[in-house]
Amino acid sequence: MTEDLSQHLKWFLQLSDTFKYNGAPGSIMTWGKLARKFLQKFFPISKTIHLRREIAMFKQLVGESSHEA
């Protein structure tokens, strides 16, 4: 192994590019999949529908300021 750090790094990067990353079954390999999984877990369709309904049905009472509503 050479003592030259840049040569060592270049060798390491070339070697690591030859590895095949299989991951565990069901692994998330893309940002798109990660976003979908996150939204499914923390913002399921039922929650989204409920929040949209609340926004659509919003009413400000007489004498109530907008920040209190």
Walk along the chain (69 residues) and give the pLDDT tens digit of each residue: 557 888 888 888 888 878 777 777 778 888 999 999 999 999 899 999 999 999 999 888 888 887 777
In a domain, residue 24? The reply is no
Q: Which residues contact 37 (CB under 8 A, 6 or more apart)?
A: 28
pLDDT of residue 2: 52
Does any domain span residue 21? no
pLDDT the model gives residue 34? 94
Report yes or no: 52 and 43 within 8 Å, Cβ to Cβ: no
| Range of the structural domain that residue 41 is part of | 31-60
User: What's the pLDDT at 49?
Assistant: 94
Residue 35 included in any domain = yes
Total number of domains constituting the chain: 1
How far apart are alpha carbons 57 and 53 in whole angstroms?
6
Residue 6 to residue 12: CA distance in whole angstroms: 10
Looking at residue 16, what is its pLDDT?
82
Say which residues have a Cβ less than 8 Å from residue 2's Cβ, sequence separation at least 6. Answer: 8, 11
